[in-house]
Amino acid sequence: MLLGFRVLLADEAIFYKVQDTKFIVIADTTDNFIFIADSTESAALVRAQMNEHFELVDLGPINWLLGVSVVRSVKDQTITLGQKAYVDQILVRFGLDRA
C-alpha cells in the first residue's frame, strides 16, 4: 500500500484512501493520473507525496479523458461529461455534417 492507498477490487487501476471525512481517489489511465479528492489541498498533498516517487507534470483541472469532455462547475456543483467530438466525427464519416 503505497502512501496508504488501497486498490479497488473492481478495477486495479483505481486507488483510494479514506480517512475520517477526507478522501482521495486516483485513477491511472496509461500515462496519466486523475485525482478526485475532497479538496484541492488533499489532492495537492498526495501529488507532492507521489512526486517523491515519480516525476509528475501537473496538467491542471481535467477537461478531456479518453475521448470524453469533462466540464466542472464548482458554483453549480456539477460535472458534465460529453462526447460531442465523437458525434461530430461520426457525422463527418457518413456525410451528415452538412445539414
Same domain, 52 and 73: no
Cell of 37: 479528492
User: Percent of the chain having pLDDT more than 70?
Assistant: 98
Is 49 found in the same domain as 36?
yes
For residue 71, give its domain range: 61-99
Query: What would the pLDDT profile of 34-54 be if each residue is shown by its tens digit?
Result: 999 999 899 999 999 999 988
- Could you give the CA distance from residue 15 to residue 9 in angstroms, rounded to a whole number? 9
Query: Residue 99's pLDDT is what?
Result: 63
What pLDDT was estimated at residue 42? 92
Statement to judge: residues 94 and 79 lie in one domain: yes
Q: Give yes or no: residues 27 and 15 share one domain.
A: yes
The structural domain count of the chain equals 2
Please indicate, yes or no, whether residues 53 and 7 belong to a single structural domain of this protein: yes
CA atoms within 13 A on the CB side of 4: 7
